[in-house]
Structures are given as C-alpha cells and as structure tokens.
Structure 1
Amino acid sequence: MALNSAYTIIWLDVHIGSKANCRQMKKDFEVGLVETAAVPPLPHDPIDDLICAVREYSAPIQFADTTNDALNLIENSVTYNKKVILISSATLGKEIVPEINKQQLPIESYYVFCGNIENNRDWGSECIDNGLDIQMFDHQTTLLIRLCRDMSKILKKDGIAVLNAKKPEFALKYFEFAYALAEKAVEYDTPTDSSDKHHPSTEHRQELNSLMAKAKQDMK
C-alpha cells in the first residue's frame, strides 16, 4: 500500500538532471517496463539508492535543472495543496530563493548542497534570519541521510495522527515506511572503516517498534 503523501520533493540541480547520473533511480522511475528490462545491471550508487528510498517510502521527487522549471513545479504542487521540500545546488539555490520569496510560494524546508559551505554561509545565514528552514551540506550523501531521517520523523508524526483517528492499518504503513527510511539512513551513515568511532543514531528503533506493535494490536 503506497502512501498518499502530503509532500512533494523538488530537486533543482544540473548534475542530477544529467543522463549519466542517478541511472538506477531513472531506470526504476522514469522509463517503461519494456525499456527497463533492456537496461543492463548498473553499478551501485549510494546517492541513487537513497533517492530511490526517499521516493519509495515518503514522497514523490521531481527534478529540474533550471530555476524556471523548478518554480513551475513548485507552483503546480502548491496548486494541488502539496507541501514542498526543495533540494538545490548552492548556485541555483541562491538564484531561486529570492524568486520564491518574491512570489510568496510556501516552502516547508530547504536542503542545499554546497561544494564549499563557507563560501555560501552569508546568504544561507540571511535566509535563516528571514525565517526560512534551510540546511546546508557539503556532500550529497550526507544531505540525503538527513532527508531520510527528517522524512521518517514526518511519517511517524503523521502515523500517530492516523492511529489516533482509529485507522491502525494505515498508521502501521506510516510506521513501517518511517522505519525503512530511518534504517536506510543508518546503513549509509555507518562508517566502512572499523576504526571510525562514529555511530549512527538508532533512536528511532524503540519508538517505532512500539508504535508498530500498538497499530497491530489495534487492528485485532
């Protein structure tokens, strides 16, 4: 059962739009079944994998490689009462944010990929001072790990609301998808070097396991 997500994610980035990039994601979501069957196995790409997870478990992702295209996607999403999350490269983000503000388009949150955060700190801080929910990252995998965790928390919150509305079967799906996204974040946040002392957060496990058990109990 797929979720009828209240969100849509719009990704503004020339790199992602390139045919050579994120090929598995495009194979899975952008071509027909006959074409897909003809595509040979592709090398593993963590960015690909994370994008597919976000799109499968939480919200549709639409891609744009120009500011105008992204603005059109935002306007269309707002028309259909979707909450918009915008991911952007720093260069295009700096360009589109003033236009979004000028047109008074509602954006839930911004995720910005910067080759160099320090070079973009001033305009990013200005956005935050103006009340925008903006986060900057210097690596796309790190950005997507955070997005997985954030969307997991949104799904958990929505699932609790659905559970309180006495719809446990739907709530269970929210919790399962929230768990899957959070686990995907753990997978890619786990160091490959055994000497690295970083431990990814697994705090979601106890609460979501409890919520899933509650939903299953309410279904009986």
Structure 2
Amino acid sequence: MSSATIAAVPVSDEQKKNDFFTPGDWLYWTCKFQEARQHFQTAQQQLFLNDSDLIRCYKSIGAVEVQLKNYDDAISTYQKQLNKLNECHSLDKLQQIITCYISIGKVYWLKQQYDQAIAYHQQALELIQSDVDSTINLSVIHQNLGNIYTNTKQFDLAYEHFQKALQIDGLHLPKNHPKIAQTYANMALMYQSKQDYQNALIYFERACEIFLNTFSKTHVSVEKLRKAIRAIEFSPSLQVNTYYLFPAYDLQFISKQPVNSSDILTLNNMTIVWLDEHIGLDENCRDLKNEFRRITNSFKMVDSVESCRQCLPYIKNRKVFFIIQGKHVKEIIPHIVQIMSPEMKPVVYVFCLHISHLNEWAQEQEYIMEGGMFNHEKDLLAKLTSDVKKYIQQQSEEKTTFFEQFNQIFDHCCRVIEKIASRHSTNIDENAPVAMVTH
C-alpha cells in the first residue's frame, strides 16, 4: 500500500509541544549531550511551557549534566526541578519529588560527598513511607545507601541496607533476577573493602551464578564479575569500584554508550522499536532494558502510539524493525507509512494474542507483510533475528555473541511482559498482548 493512500493524521497542539522535546531526547539517546543540553535549555525559554514542562526540562538537563560530569550544574538543575515540584499541585508529584531526591543524592555520591548523598536518600526514604507504589524505588534507595556506606567504611550499615534491598526485591522478583545479582555483587565489594576476601568471593560467585541463569557466558555482566573474581583470587587487595560493575544511577532516557565494534545494529544504521503499553513504561523492566542498552544503542521501547510517533522523524532514514502490540497497530501504521523513508522499507511485526481479527486488514499493509503477525514470542524472535541477520549479511560479518545476548534478553523480556500484563487485567481482551509461554 503506497503512502499516497494514507490520509494526513491531524496533529494536536499538545502533540506539537511534545515534538519540541523529542529532538532533545534523541540527541541524548545518540550521546550528543552538549546538543541535548542546548536543546532543553532553549526549551526552558519557551513561553508556552507550563510547570510540568519546566519540570521535564530540568530533569532532562540534570541527566545531561551528569553525563557530562558537570556535577555542580546537575545538582543546581535538580534543585530547580525540586523547587518547581514543591510549587505545583500535581497528583503524582510525590513520586517525582522522591525520584528527584534520589537523583540529587546520586550526584553527591558521584562527587564523593557522602554525607549529602546519605541525607538526600534519607529524605527520599521519609517521603516514600506514604507512597504505596514506590517499592521499586525503595529497593533502589537501600541499594544506593549500601554502596555509599561501603564507601564510608560503615560496613554494618552497608550490610543492613543491602539486606533490606534483598528483602524488598525478594517479595516481587524471582530469586534469580539480575537485580538480586547486582545486590550480591555490591555486597561482595563491601566485603572486599573490609578485607573479608572469603565472603567477597562467595558473593561474587553468587552474583555470577544468577547472571549465568539469564545470560550467556560472554555477556558483559558475566565477564565483569569473572574479572572481579579473578582479581580476588590473584590479588585480593585490588579494589573494584562499584561503578565499574554496574551504573550507580538510572538514566531518564535510553542510556547511550559510544558506538563499539560489537554493536551491530548501530554500526549498520538499524533500530528496533518496541511499542507495548506495559514494557514500554519507564518504571517497568528497568533491569532488562539496561541489559539491552549494554549490547546496543539502537533498541527503544515505548509505551504509547504518541511516543512512537514522536520517534519516527528521527529514525526515518534508518532501517527500522517495529514490534507493535496488536491493540496499537492500526493507529500507528499510518504514521509509519507517512513518515518513514520508503527506501529503507521498515519492517513491522504484530504481536498479540488473537491475530485473526487483523488478518484481512494486515494483508493490505506492505510493512506488516514484510514482518508478519505472531502470537508466540519464540516465533517472533526467530523471524526478527533472521530478518536482522539477513539485512546485515552483505554489510558485515555476523557477530554470534551479539545475537546470543540479544536473544536471551529478548526471551526474558517477553516472559516479563506476561507477568506485567496479568497484573493489569483479569479478562481476556482480543487486543491484549500475547500470553507468553515459558520454557
């Protein structure tokens, strides 16, 4: 079906305003931090911005300043965000204030100003008691405090907070979840810092064992842990910094590391965009998203048609593989056809439980015919991997390790979607995400 047959989709004033922010997000995503900062600083000066928009600007600029290691500027910007949050009356401002306190505390941690770092995390803890939806943040706070107290050599307090993080995560995460492995690894660093090398080795090995249940032997997290284990075995006094193993802070947007020789998608001008209302939410599946980010800069998850639409102008000249939740596909396809470059011929995979009601319509959609419709994650992954390999075959050698890692993370991601979706709905919806089958 040609793009000429698609009617123009009306764009609201709110969408136009959102579009003003989107280029900054994508500059951040591609590691162009200076340009991203300039964009959001310019956005600050716009007269049409309301308090919510200014809060978003401050949060984005703060994240950029952290990446640029301008820690004092980051703290100043986050303080502006905090002041504006305290002035507004948004229903969700408590959660945002808690997150802002954590962000400021993390920057002080990076500055090695540990008293301030602890104070801001403690303020977040005090506020979090009245927010029943903050269990994930609560675990993060205890994890951070455990690391900070390790840096200050207050090992009893560090152990106490690590145990609290494990207890909280144990209530809603499987025992082999990578986040639990991260806590074990940080506890190992604590024991190593107090020169208890026997326990350090035990906890490093526990962390490594969990990661091996999820990822391949060549996965970056496994390799880092093995390097830490070897360091203890052969030179136990050699300290490994917490930041070396795992990032000390979450990023607002997709974390961007410089392009490297193993990032096949980025090197071949390719992107995968996954539109799903559950896994696309910022607060869901952060660990899994971080795993994707470790192997490629070119995998993005979004939670709404609007978020996906905003991305399109900035990836229109790339080869893009879209995974679209069934309930959103009819709404987003016209935008894809209208905006994406036809020369790059995007590929669309529809992912839903009941695909029969879409069959007749999908047969007229060229990009869906290129990809296909799937109600099982294994079939989708096989087709996606095959298509990606086929596309890059003439451009570079196949990197087996990359695809092993990608496939393992993708499979884990699909299994998590089922758990998230089941918590949001008790009735079967023909447009709902596919019910995953675990193996």
Q: Secondary structure at the match of 1:157?
A: coil
Match of 2:403 among 181, 190, 211: 181
Q: Distance in 2 between matches of 1:77 and 1:104?
A: 8
CA displacement at 1:132 relative to structure 2? 5.4
The root-mean-square deviation of aligned C-alpha atoms, in Å, is 3.3
Note the alpha carbon deviations across 1:139-177, whole angstroms, 9 max, x for none: 233212221122122232212xxxxxxxxxxxxxx32x1
Corresponding letter in the other structure for 2:291: D
Match of 2:393 among 147, 156, 162: 156
| Correspondence 1:6 to 2:269 | yes
Q: Distance in 1 between matches of 2:289 and 2:339?
A: 31
| Correspondence 1:86 to 2:322 | yes
Assess if the C-alpha contact under 8 Å between 1:75 and 1:105 holds in 2: no
How does 1:32-51 map onto structure 2 within 5 Å?
Answer: none
How does 1:77-156 map onto structure 2 within 5 Å?
Answer: 77-78=315-316, 81-103=317-339, 105-106=341-342, 107-128=345-366, 133-156=370-393
Q: Secondary structure at the match of 2:313?
A: helix
| Correspondence 1:64 to 2:302 | yes
Higher strand share: 1
Assess if the C-alpha contact under 8 Å between 2:352 and 2:375 holds in 1: yes
Note the alpha carbon deviations across 1:96-143, whole angstroms, 9 max, x for none: 112333446544211110211112111111214x89523100023321
Q: Secondary structure at the match of 2:300?
A: strand
Q: Distance in 1 between matches of 2:395 and 2:357?
A: 37
The structure with higher relative contact order (CA 8 Å, sep 6+) is: 1
Q: Distance in 1 between matches of 2:285 and 2:379?
A: 16
Q: Distance in 2 between matches of 1:155 and 1:182?
A: 16
Assess if the C-alpha contact under 8 Å between 1:11 and 1:87 holds in 2: yes
Assess if the C-alpha contact under 8 Å between 2:324 and 2:351 holds in 1: yes
Residues 21/145 of structure 1: CA separation in 2 closer, same or farther (3 Å cut)? farther
Provide TM-score, normalisation by structure 1: 0.54
Corresponding letter in the other structure for 2:280: G
Q: Distance in 1 between matches of 2:374 and 2:368?
A: 19
Q: Distance in 2 between matches of 1:110 and 1:131?
A: 5
Residues 131/184 of structure 1: CA separation in 2 closer, same or farther (3 Å cut)? closer
Structure 2: runs of 5+ lacking an equivalent: 1-260, 412-439
Q: Distance in 2 between matches of 1:74 and 1:94?
A: 16
Assess if the C-alpha contact under 8 Å between 1:88 and 1:111 holds in 2: yes
Residues 19/100 of structure 1: CA separation in 2 closer, same or farther (3 Å cut)? closer
Aligned residues: 145
Q: Distance in 2 between matches of 1:131 and 1:22?
A: 27
Q: Distance in 1 between matches of 2:322 and 2:310?
A: 13
Corresponding letter in the other structure for 1:98: P
Residue 28 of structure 1: aligned partner: 291
Q: Secondary structure at the match of 1:84?
A: strand
How does 1:164-175 map onto structure 2 within 5 Å?
Answer: 174-175=397-398
Q: Secondary structure at the match of 2:331?
A: helix
Assess if the C-alpha contact under 8 Å between 2:323 and 2:350 holds in 1: yes
Residues 145/120 of structure 1: CA separation in 2 closer, same or farther (3 Å cut)? same
Q: Distance in 1 between matches of 2:351 and 2:309?
A: 18
Q: Kindly name which structure, 1 or 2, has the bigger radius of gyration based on alpha carbons.
A: 2
Q: Secondary structure at the match of 2:394?
A: helix
Q: Distance in 2 between matches of 1:153 and 1:85?
A: 13
Structure 1: runs of 5+ lacking an equivalent: 31-51, 160-173, 190-220
Assess if the C-alpha contact under 8 Å between 1:152 and 1:182 holds in 2: no
Q: Distance in 2 between matches of 1:77 and 1:24?
A: 25
Corresponding letter in the other structure for 2:320: V
Q: Secondary structure at the match of 2:353?
A: coil
Residues 27/184 of structure 1: CA separation in 2 closer, same or farther (3 Å cut)? closer
